[in-house]
Amino acid sequence: MSFLTPLFLLLGLLAGPIIILYMLRLRRREVMVSSTLLWQKLLRDREANAPWQKLRRNLLLILQLIILAALVFALARPFLPSPAIISGSVVVLLDASASMQATDVEPNRFAAAKAEVSQLINDLSGSSQMTLIKVGQTPTVVAAASSDRAQLQRALEAVQPDPAAAAWNAAFALATGAAQGFRDARIVIVSDGGIPDDLPPLPVEHIYLPIGESSENLAITALATRETEDGIQLFASVQNEGLIDREVLLSIDLDGTLFDSRRLTVPAGSSVNATWDLPPGTATIRAHLGDNEGDFLPLDDVAWAVHEGGVSNRTLLVTEGNLFLEQVFTVLPGVEAFKVPPDSDLLDPETAEFDYDLVIFDGVPLPDPPPASDMLIINPQAGGEGGLFSVSGTFSNTVTTRLEESPLLQFVAWNEVDVRQAQRVSAPWAQTLVEAEGGPLVQIGEQNGYRIAILTFDLRDSDLPLQIAFPILMANITGWLSPGRAFDAPTGLQPGDPVAVVPGASSTAVLVQKPDGSRWTAEVGEEDLFFTETDTPGLYTVLLRDAAADRPAGSFAVNLFNPAESAIRPVESLQIGQTAVETEDEGDVGQRELWPWLLAIAVVVLIVEWWVHHRGTRWPKLPSTAFGRFRR
């Protein structure tokens, strides 16, 4: 046993004055006696009151010395060395991702991880401090540089896991900032090991506490629909992340009613696909796994999909003839395309009723005023800008110099596209997605409440239509323009992904009903609306509020669909950068302080001393009447 403040042991010298006071306390006066027969008795009495004889069997003195010893030792803060992995300034990264909800340990991995962190908090010495960071969808500092164990335990108790992947890069940045400025800083990672391989190295020593025991898990990894010549087709995929072949029952619900159930055998480490032909008019699909004992992650056993084949978005293609555009808009799902020449009366709002969600102008002048709809403008012409932009010639230096990070360019390999020449377009309101040396090639923006996309070159002056990127780019642009839709929710939405809401001109508010039944409401204004509360997997229903009522505008699905989270095999050791993370450090010794127990002993002995001083050493006698009743 050692002491943190040994100087307080000098207070033990106060025992000397206490003993001296007891030695000097008793004073007898001399008395004249009439007989010497009493001298013998008087001699024995004086010997008994001699200083050292007086200290024999003095209970009060013993009790007071025990109180003093307990207080002195408590002030000296004795401690016993105990094995520990933390000391000094500690930053704890608590994994709160979806895989931490696996139930291979009781009650689940996240609860086990919290128990580990709770033990770390209890092992904190008086000079140590801890920063607790929840590593979830958005990493959060739940307790900053605190040595208050009670505060840390309360903060830990309030932490809950997220049904999504964890943002480890952001968490490492938080941990690095929290550890700066401390020479003895250390980072402790409490996780099942589902950490990306490309994380930056940590600047201080770090330790890994592994959580989890099993890798057995079945997951629905895909659920999607498509329109075919025979109708609606549903595709589902089930992955076995474990080491044992599994049988599972896959059930499909259509619009809340059970449609079919199939028993599948999924080999270990493999997947099994299944398809169904769905009845016309199907809107929402729910797939769920059953009879899957030994599956330790229920979160990925259910998935949702929304079929939008019934939504017909009327698209008007204004062109003198472009086979590439005609073919791509023929196969895009949910698009009903019409082709007209540039001089068609359909473009004149005074002579025809205009009823199109999207208008595509391919190398033709825009009418003045432009149509009241979203527009895709390809190869814009000088003199036909419609007051939206200006064209000042052409340029041939079309080597790409900058690509903007945008969902419209997702899966588009633009570096393989060659353009012979393009129009020099000036549109101050537009954002440039693809820029060449001579000017922009692809631009997007909004004007007068409508979305506009511009391709500044003729498709036939490039090899874009011959690339696989062409249908992908057209699908992305059409999805962003969202003709006829109140929201832009692509398939494959995962928890935390934002959804752009595009209400109609008559809408005053947008409402989104979440899977738990609660509602999100936002008033329609000039700014873009984004729904960001997609934290829970499930179906979300969008409603538009106008002067008459709240009208349904469709639904979208949010699913886990994350192979890294479904692969729940715990990792015994981590490699971060070029450094192998240790799982423990035998060199560290914790300190279990004993002063609270010593203080409690002092208080108890003080109560006993008070009783002895005022009542004597005898126990109080019971009243005779009570004693008699007790005997009877």
Provide the CA 560 distance to its chain's centre, in angstroms. Answer: 13
Res 619: pLDDT: 52
Q: Flag the least confident range among 3-12, 106-115, 255-264.
A: 3-12
pLDDT of 273 above 50: yes
**178, 306, 545, 552 from 486: Cα distances, Å:** 43, 15, 12, 10
* pLDDT beyond 70 at 57: no
Q: How far apart are CA 423 and CA 381, in angstroms?
A: 8
The two three-digit tokens of residue 303, written as one number: 């998935």
CA distances from 417 to 386, 406, 407, 431, 454 (A): 29, 17, 18, 20, 17
* Two tokens, residue 397: 């230096």
| Dihedral of alpha carbons 533, 538, 544, 548, sign | negative
* Res. 278 pLDDT band, cuts 50 70 90: very high
Q: What are phi and psi of 575, to 5 degrees?
A: -125, 110
User: What is the DSSP code (8-state) at residue 488?
Assistant: E
What the block records as the tokens of 505 is 């001109």
Highest mean pLDDT among 6-20, 70-84, 464-478: 464-478
Q: What is the CATH number of domain 85-213+570-587?
A: 3.40.50.410
For residues 229 and 277, give the distance between their C-alpha atoms in angstroms, rounded to a whole number.
11
Does 424 score more than 80 pLDDT? yes
Is the pLDDT score of 627 beyond 50? Answer: no
The most confident of the ranges 131-140, 591-600, 604-613 is 131-140
Our measurement of the distance from residue 19's CA atom to the centroid of its chain's CA atoms, rounded to an integer in Å, reads: 65
Q: Are strands 129-135 and 89-95 parallel, antiparallel or unpaired?
A: parallel
Q: In this predicted structure, what is the pLDDT of residue 584?
A: 59
| % of the chain at pLDDT higher than 70 | 82
- Mean pLDDT across 430-434: 92
- In eight-state DSSP terms, residue 389 is -
pLDDT of 612 strictly over 90: no
Determine which of 410-419, 495-504, 562-571, 586-595 has the lowest per-residue pLDDT on average.
Answer: 586-595
DSSP-derived secondary structure for 290-358: ES-TT---GGGSEEEEE--TT--EEEEEEES--HHHHHHHHHSTTEEEEEE-TT-GGG-TTTS----SE
Q: State the average pLDDT over residues 236-264.
A: 95
- H or E stretch at 46: helix 39-48
Q: What share of the chain is helix, strand, coil (3-state, %, to 5)?
A: 25, 35, 40
Q: Is 119 helix (H, G, I), strand (E, B) or coil?
A: helix
pLDDT for residue 624 is more than 70: no
Euclidean distance between CA atoms 215 and 217, whole angstroms: 6
- pLDDT (tens digit, 9 = 90+) per residue, 406-421? 878 878 888 889 999 9
**Could you report the per-residue pLDDT of 553-567, keeping only the tens digit for each?**
888 999 999 999 999
The residues, ordered by sequence, that sit 6+ positions from 47 with a Cβ below 8 Å of its Cβ are 53
User: Quick one: pLDDT at residue 631?
Assistant: 47
Give the chain's length.
632
Q: What CA–CA distance (Å, rounded) separates 471 from 463?
A: 13
pTM above 0.95, yes or no: no
User: Could you tell me the fold of the domain covering 487-559?
Assistant: Immunoglobulin-like (2.60.40)
Mean pLDDT to the nearest integer, 226-244: 90
User: What per-residue confidence (pLDDT) applies to 586?
Assistant: 45
Structural domain spans, the chain: 2-81, 85-213+570-587, 313-481, 487-559
pLDDT band with cut points at 50, 70 and 90 for residue 614: confident
Kindly report the CATH number that applies to the domain delimited by 313-481.
3.40.50.880
Nearest CA to 300 out of 562, 569, 536, 105 is that of: 562
Largest CA distance in the chain: 151
* Residues 437-491: tens digit of each pLDDT: 999 999 998 888 788 999 999 999 999 999 888 988 888 888 777 545 677 777 7
b/e string for 529-560 if b means 16 or more Cβ within 10 A? Answer: bebeebbebbbbbbbbbeeeeeeebbbbbbbb
Residue 339 dihedral angles phi and psi, to the nearest 5°? -115, 135
Predicted local distance difference test score (pLDDT) of residue 79:
67
Provide the Cα torsion 480, 484, 487, 489; round to 10°: -60
Question: 230-239, 274-283, 622-631: which has the minimum mean pLDDT?
Answer: 622-631
Mean pLDDT of 222-232: 87
At 247, the pLDDT band (50, 70, 90 cuts) reads very high
Q: What is the 3-state secondary structure (H, E, C) of 405-439?
A: CCHHHCCCCHHHCCECCEEEEECCCCEEEEEECCC
Q: Where are the alpha helices (DSSP H) in 379-527?
A: 469-481
Residue 22 has pLDDT above 60, yes or no: yes
114 or 206, higher pLDDT: 114
Question: Is the pLDDT reported for residue 299 higher than 60?
Answer: yes
Higher pLDDT, 129 or 632: 129
48 — pLDDT class (breaks 50, 70, 90): low
Q: In CATH terms, are 85-213+570-587 and 313-481 the same topology?
A: yes
Identify the bridge partners of residue 581 per DSSP, sorted by sequence position. 574
Mean pLDDT, residues 388-410 taken together: 89
Burial of 280-316, coded b for 16+ CB within 10 Å and e otherwise, reads: eebbbbbbbbeebeebbbebbbbbbbbbbbeeebbbb
pLDDT-derived band of residue 337, with 50, 70 and 90 as boundaries?
A: confident
Q: Check if the beta carbon of residue 159 is closer than 8 Å to that of residue 94.
A: yes
Q: What would the two tokens of residue 383 be?
A: 């003199």
Q: How confident is the model at residue 180 (pLDDT cuts 50, 70, 90)?
A: confident
- Cβ within 8 Å of residue 279, ≥6 positions away: 231, 232, 254
Q: What is the overall mean pLDDT for the chain?
A: 83
Amino acid 56: pLDDT: 55
- Rounded mean pLDDT, 88-97: 92
Cβ–Cβ under 8 Å, residues 96 and 136: yes
**CA distances (Å), origin 632, targets 623, 625, 626, 628, 629:** 14, 11, 10, 6, 5
The structure tokens listed for 76 are 């000296």
Structure tokens at 235: 């595709």
Q: What pLDDT does residue 15 have?
A: 72
